[in-house]
Structures are given as structure tokens and as C-alpha cells.
Structure 1
């Protein structure tokens, strides 16, 4: 374990750089390395365990802010957390899509945009997570929301849960929830027959 000072910190992107005590060069640190739930601030003293990042450059594996007792971090789940509301929301939307097809409330091709854009949204979240870890240029939040809005919401919800990405920013979470709710309302309207084929075609056209 070594000690140093957090000389750079980008709170929006969730990473910064530590200047270790002594002659060593600064090293990268990601928000996921910190043991405490409180977000760090530039200029704070901390202790850290040095290691190597995914890009092969020096990075902190774990970090503890000065004055905060080190605690044992629970193991992160490597599988679906079935209790996460994002999983339930994604499953609910998927069930509605298939219900529409089974009940012949809309053309079969309606599955295609949800599948294609869902995959694109999943990939975008994965890429953004990797870039955050590596300290590279990120995909904008507006870009992620845009993919979710144009039929990518199911993939986006699942990606957020699996990668534990963009789950701690209230504004982002609220916007994602609004997009999911909008899609849910439209799908329910189609299933119930309140939005028949002709009106649906006009809406999509």
C-alpha cells in the first residue's frame, strides 16, 4: 500500500490521477477503485494499492481516502442481479413486444428495431465503460440516451445492470426511466388495441 495526493479528478467522467509520495510519476485511478461511497475531490490525500490498468499503464487497483477506515468490499456479482429494477423493466418491455406480435397487433418486423438498436445500445454502454476505465474520450450521455430512445432501451437497461454503468447519476437514471416508461406506454397502447395498425403506421412513418 502506498500514499499520495489526488492531483486531478474529473467527477463527471469518474476518474483522475494520483501523485504518489516520492519521485514516482502520477498514476490513473477510476471511481470503481475507491472503497467508500463518497466521491473523492481533487487535493485529497489517500492510500492506494498500485497495479496496472487494462491499457497496461500504471493504475490504482484500490484506493481509500485519508481518515476513512478501510472496509472489506463485497464481491461484485458476475451475473444478473434479478432484483435490479432495470432487469424487470427490460423483461417487461420484451414481453410486451412479443405480446404485440402474438396478438397480431402490429407487423412482425417490429421486433427488428428493438433487436438491432438494443444490440447497438448494449455495445455503446460496453464501449463507454471500457473508455471510462482507460481514461479515454467518452460517449456522451445524450448519445446513450438517443440510442435508448430509438428502440435501444431494452439493451440499454440490461447493459446498465450488467456493466454497473451509469447507475449512480440521478439525472441519467431519471432520463432512462422516462424513456423506458414512454416505450412501455406505447407498447401497452398497442397491445390493448388503443393504437391500431393505421395509427401505428402513421406514428412510425
Structure 2
């Protein structure tokens, strides 16, 4: 059976929904960091670090995307993962989704998710003051 030429795919809607969800996740993460810092359980410099490294990571992804389109020198994947593990995973997530960059390679995505887990575990350690027994 032929598809009607007027029928549209759900993919753009799904993509836009995913963008909104990830934006809410990013805003929520930073809001929680600010709340934890306001409660005195996290240094404001760490909140600033997360904001800075997130922005830098997004820009590095954007530069890499542009280089890929121009067939120029690319940023090594290890560098992208290092930025994520250092706290730039939110910027990486936003860049992957909004720039549609580094979304196809399953090995890259798996490594990215591992960097998120390692970073969040480190953040939990910092919030706990090194005493994870309270959790």
C-alpha cells in the first residue's frame, strides 16, 4: 500500500521532544547543583566549573562538527570523552542532540554514557565530603 504524499513522519516530532527532554535534564541538573551549593554541601567553584566545562564542551563539539562537514582535522574522540568525564557531559549531551553530532556510533555513545556515570559518581563523592556511608 502506498503512503499518502501528505502523510508526515513522526521523526521530527520525536526529535523535537527529545531536544526538550534533554534541555529539561540539563536545566534540572544545573538547578540541583545550585541548590546543593546553596545548602552548603558543594563549593560554588564546582558549580562554576560545571557551567564552564559544559559550555567549552559544547563549543568543542560544534568545532568538531564543522570540521567533519569541511573534511578538516577532527577533535580526537578521547578528547571529547575527557571533557565529558571532567564535567562537560551536559554540554556534550546538548551538542549531540542539537547539532546531531556523534549520535550514530554505538561505541562512542557507550563510552559517553560511561563518562557520565563516572562523573556523577565523582560528584556524589564530592557532595558527601568523601563519606559515602551517609547515602
Q: Give the TM bin, normalised by the shorter chain.
A: 0.7 to 0.9
Q: Distance in 1 between matches of 2:78 and 2:120?
A: 21
Higher helix share: 2
Does 1:144 pair with 2:93?
Answer: no
The corresponding residue for 1:95 is: 31
Root mean square deviation of aligned Cα: 3.0
Calculate the TM-score normalised by the size of structure 1: 0.51
The corresponding residue for 1:111 is: 47
The corresponding residue for 1:83 is: 18
Q: Is the 8 A contact 2:86 2:119 kept in 1?
A: no
Does 1:158 pair with 2:94?
Answer: yes
Q: Is the 8 A contact 2:96 2:103 kept in 1?
A: yes
In structure 2, runs of 5+ residues without a counterpart are 1-7
Distance change in 2, residues 1:151/1:133 (3 Å): same
Does 1:172 pair with 2:82?
Answer: no
The corresponding residue for 2:3 is: none
Calculate the TM-score normalised by the size of structure 2: 0.73
In structure 1, runs of 5+ residues without a counterpart are 1-72, 201-205
Q: Is the 8 A contact 1:167 1:173 kept in 2?
A: yes
Q: Distance in 2 between matches of 1:88 and 1:177?
A: 18
Q: Distance in 1 between matches of 2:58 and 2:95?
A: 5
Q: Is the 8 A contact 2:67 2:74 kept in 1?
A: yes
Q: Is the 8 A contact 1:106 1:190 kept in 2?
A: yes
Higher strand share: 1
Q: How many residues in Structure 1 have an aligned counterpart in Structure 2?
A: 123
- Structure with larger Rg: 1
Distance change in 2, residues 1:188/1:87 (3 Å): farther
Q: Distance in 2 between matches of 1:82 and 1:104?
A: 35
CA apart distance, 1:190: 5.2
Q: Distance in 2 between matches of 1:189 and 1:181?
A: 12
Higher relative contact order (CA 8 A, sep 6+): 2
Distance change in 2, residues 1:92/1:169 (3 Å): farther
Q: Distance in 1 between matches of 2:28 and 2:117?
A: 11
Does 1:135 pair with 2:71?
Answer: yes
